[in-house]
């Protein structure tokens, strides 16, 4: 009886960094044409966290509105996905669990597989809810994309967290079956433990992404998935927004669907609007795309949408969901737009000072200057422990 219950996303909220760096600042610094960014990769700006912000503070900020709306009862699992974790052993989700005041009767863990892990968390959450529809699962994707200054990846950086409440009888999106899966051992993007910035082979990464689309779509169709022309819209993982265009063109050509520029624009454009001004947010990227689609597209009630999740290395999943009737009443469009509009502009020199900042590693007592305005902050370090604080709520 329970296994046939509708399960999916009941609420969706995102948060981003305190600062915003306009790509004109990068273009001016390197004396390049701004269209290298606006047209070449499809980016206009990127979020930059303050010195007292990290993946934990963004995660808690993204999830706070969900807790305020629905409370903490029946949240027995917190799944936090990230590839920029703050500890090799302890889940960053436990810090978030504490900051949000969630029940002690809970399982809390962190998942990692490059940018894909949030989709794994979403599917694991759906399985838990299918087993017991009275439970609710909090899924959070949170990341800060960092590359070496001067590298091709610098202009694709960004930071954000997306939080989702997964329940039975969801108000926003029902997850549909089946999923199409793909995995391959490819060194297209990675970050060894001894590095604070990622290593990426750009050409290999794009080729691996497109290979993963083919593999995941093939598996999806073999398992009885929808024909491609039944989907009303598409959301893709966006390491940069132009990648969504490349991805959909490739999938359309591979599957025999319409692949003219207008067809591609109509299928994906509204899903790229937030990522275009936030930048890459790794695990959160796909779900910022989903929020952007739902916040900007004409009424999608009752219509199926497609989602493609990719994580370098590589793992991918193609799956669908049906938008629920009345979903607009549950969206957080105003809050999402405010999160973007309220960022403080920063110049290139200011961004570089934050980019080069590193936290002390000597185990001493170190207080961090209060800088961000969000509800949570990293206040300091003491004895190799991270100290988080909740600001007083007005």
Give me the active site residues, please. Answer: 83, 115, 237
Q: Directed axis angle between helix 117-131 and helix 285-296, to 10°? A: 70
Smallest CA-to-CA distance from 17 within 49, 62, 46 is with: 49
Integer Cα distance of 24 and 21 in angstroms: 8
**For 280, left (φ over 0), alpha (ψ -120 to 50), or beta?**
beta
Integer Cα distance of 4 and 320 in angstroms: 16
HSE value, Cβ hemisphere, 13 Å, CA-based, for 307: 31
Smallest CA-to-CA distance from 319 within 217, 166, 170 is with: 217
Integer Cα distance of 115 and 279 in angstroms: 13
Three-state SS at 300? coil
- CB-based contact 380:365 (threshold 8 Å): yes
Integer Cα distance of 315 and 25 in angstroms: 34
- CB-based contact 275:298 (threshold 8 Å): no
- CB-based contact 390:95 (threshold 8 Å): no
Cite the beta strand spans of the chain per DSSP E: 7-16, 19-22, 45-48, 75-81, 107-111, 136-145, 158-168, 173-183, 189-190, 199-200, 233-236, 304-311, 315-323, 344-345, 366-367, 376-382, 385-390
Integer Cα distance of 129 and 41 in angstroms: 38
């Amino acid at each position: 009886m329970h296994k046939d219950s509708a399960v999916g996303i009941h609420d969706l909220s995102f948060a981003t960094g305190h600062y915003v760096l306009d790509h004109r600042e990068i273009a001016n610094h390197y004396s390049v044409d701004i269209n290298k960014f606006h047209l070449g990769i499809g980016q206009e700006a990127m979020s930059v966290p303050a010195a007292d912000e990290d993946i934990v503070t963004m995660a808690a900020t993204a999830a706070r509105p969900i807790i305020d709306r629905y409370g903490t009862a029946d949240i027995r699992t917190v799944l936090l996905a990230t590839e920029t974790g703050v500890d090799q052993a302890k889940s960053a989700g436990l810090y978030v669990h504490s900051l949000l005041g969630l029940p002690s009767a809970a399982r809390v863990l962190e998942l990692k597989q490059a940018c894909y892990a949030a989709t794994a968390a979403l599917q694991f959450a759906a399985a838990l809810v299918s087993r017991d529809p009275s439970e609710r699962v909090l899924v959070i994707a949170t990341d800060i994309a960092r590359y070496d200054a001067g590298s091709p990846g610098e202009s694709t950086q960004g930071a954000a967290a997306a939080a989702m409440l997964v329940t039975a009888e969801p108000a926003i999106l029902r997850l549909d079956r089946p999923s199409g899966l793909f995995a391959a051992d490819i060194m297209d993007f990675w970050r060894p433990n001894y590095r604070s910035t990622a290593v990426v082979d750009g050409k290999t990464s794009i080729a691996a992404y497109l290979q993963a689309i083919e593999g995941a779509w093939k598996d999806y169709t073999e398992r009885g998935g929808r024909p491609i022309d039944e989907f009303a819209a598409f959301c893709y993982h966006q390491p940069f927004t132009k990648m969504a265009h490349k991805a959909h063109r490739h999938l359309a050509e591979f599957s025999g669907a319409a692949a003219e520029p207008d067809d591609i624009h109509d299928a994906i454009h509204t899903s790229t609007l937030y990522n275009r001004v936030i930048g890459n947010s790794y695990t959160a990227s796909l779900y910022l795309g989903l929020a952007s689609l739902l916040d900007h597209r004409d009424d999608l009630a009752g219509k199926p949408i497609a989602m493609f999740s990719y994580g370098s290395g590589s793992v991918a999943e193609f799956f669908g969901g049906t938008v629920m009737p009345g979903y607009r009443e549950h969206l957080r469009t105003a809050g999402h737009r405010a999160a973007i509009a309220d960022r403080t502009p920063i110049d290139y020199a200011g961004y570089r000072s934050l980019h080069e900042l590193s936290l002390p590693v000597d185990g001493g007592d170190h207080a961090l200057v209060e800088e961000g305005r969000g509800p949570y902050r990293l206040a300091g370090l003491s004895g190799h422990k991270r100290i988080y604080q909740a600001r007083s709520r007005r």
